[in-house]
């Protein structure tokens, strides 16, 4: 184990240079000798992670010369999927798509040692930039954050919110909203899809990416109260930002990360990074995800590492505010 850790550390500078190396060696032969799988921790068709994986799979396959398939391993807040990916051979044929909260913080609430985002994994690319919405079930009868706060206080302990599991960023952000608005709410964890319960009015409110919520808002099945982005969403020009609603400290933009198992050779990391960048810039991919106000990012390996550090720190701060401890 110690030797493996030393080898990973020694390889880090080379990993940082890998995208440039790959670009200089145009036409480099792909490492891929068999289909590549992208493991995700949610059920098929559920969440921005699955949507993104399926959108980029074909363009990545074109770049790498082998099929790219999305493998769904839902449950335990993404832990099952993250562990499966981290334990895979570091040869580029298994990737993981998910947030740093899954790699680190979901394990903590399960009373298990977290994975190390820079040793058990190698961040390959920031995948997306999400725009988050606060929505409520129409039966709650609220149209603003202040009205949600009033309803939460009036119905103390009765309002609830849903996520794919404790410790996920969905759980923490929604709990933080209730805390900030001054009411208590119940967290309802789900192993798989909870859309039917949300649309049936059994879930009071959500704070989640607009890619998941926008179609239901536009259909009148959910009421949008605010967006957490710095600007209003083009698709919902009448919905204010949290800053405009008087809660600027609740604003942020989030996004998921494409990971390779720790110890993946730098040249392979570079090829996967370049393949994802090509997919992220594909007009069909940008249009498909853009319709849901989900932006593909791409970028370099160093940028992915910098974003990973921010992401971990952001969720540490959420844990400190919601749970009273960062780790």
Dihedral angle sign, alpha carbons of residues 50, 51, 52, 58: positive
Rg of the chain over CA atoms, in angstroms?
20
Per-residue pLDDT 10s for the chain (327 aa) are 433 333 333 344 444 334 433 333 355 789 999 999 999 998 898 778 999 999 999 999 999 999 999 999 998 878 899 999 999 999 999 999 998 888 887 777 677 888 899 999 999 999 999 899 999 999 999 999 999 999 999 998 999 999 977 777 889 999 999 999 999 999 999 877 899 999 999 999 999 989 889 999 999 999 999 999 999 999 999 999 999 999 999 999 888 999 999 999 999 999 999 999 999 999 999 999 988 788 899 999 999 999 999 988 998 999 899 888 777
- Domains of the chain (ranges plus CATH)? 2-129+254-323 (3.40.190.150), 132-250 (3.40.190.10)
- Within 102-219, residue ranges assigned H as helices are 106-109, 145-154, 169-181, 195-199, 210-218
Question: Among candidates 61, 93, 131, which has minimal Cα distance to 279?
Answer: 61
- Measured at the CA of 32, the angle between CA 84 and CA 1, to 5 degrees, comes to 45
What residues does 209 pair with on adjacent strands? 132
Q: How far is CA 39 from CA 25, 42, 260, in A?
A: 29, 9, 10
Q: Does the model's pTM come out above 0.75? A: yes
């Amino acid at each position: 184990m110690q030797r493996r850790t030393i080898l990973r550390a020694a390889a880090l500078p080379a990993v940082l240079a890998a995208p440039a190396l790959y670009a200089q060696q145009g036409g480099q032969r792909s490492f891929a000798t068999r289909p590549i799988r992208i493991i995700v921790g949610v059920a098929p068709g559920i969440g921005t992670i699955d949507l993104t994986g399926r959108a980029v799979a074909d363009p990545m396959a074109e770049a790498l010369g082998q099929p790219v398939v999305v493998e769904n391993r839902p449950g335990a807040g993404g832990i099952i999927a993250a562990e499966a990916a981290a334990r895979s051979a570091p040869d580029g044929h298994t990737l993981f798509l998910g947030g740093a909260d899954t790699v680190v913080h979901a394990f903590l609430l399960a009373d298990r040692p977290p994975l190390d985002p820079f040793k058990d994994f190698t961040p390959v690319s920031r995948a997306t930039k999400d725009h988050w919405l606060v929505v409520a079930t129409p039966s709650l009868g609220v149209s603003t954050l202040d009205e949600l706060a009033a309803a939460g206080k009036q119905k103390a302990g009765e309002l609830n919110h849903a996520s794919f599991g404790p410790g996920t960023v969905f759980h923490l952000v929604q709990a933080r909203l209730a805390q900030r608005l001054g009411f208590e709410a119940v967290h309802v964890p789900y192993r798989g899809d909870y859309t039917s319960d949300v649309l049936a009015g059994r879930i009071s409110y959500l704070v989640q990416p607009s890619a998941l919520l926008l179609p239901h808002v536009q259909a009148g099945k959910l009421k949008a109260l605010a967006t957490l982005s710095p600007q209003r969403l083009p698709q919902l020009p009448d919905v204010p930002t949290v800053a405009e609603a008087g809660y600027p400290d609740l604003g942020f933009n989030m996004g998921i990360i494409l990971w390779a198992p720790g110890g993946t050779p730098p040249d392979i990391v570079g090829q996967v990074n370049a393949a994802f960048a090509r997919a992220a810039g594909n007009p069909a991919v940008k249009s498909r995800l853009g319709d849901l106000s989900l932006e593909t990012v791409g970028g370099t390996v160093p940028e992915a590492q910098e974003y990973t550090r921010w992401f971990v720190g952001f969720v540490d701060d959420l844990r400190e505010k919601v749970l009273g401890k960062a780790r």
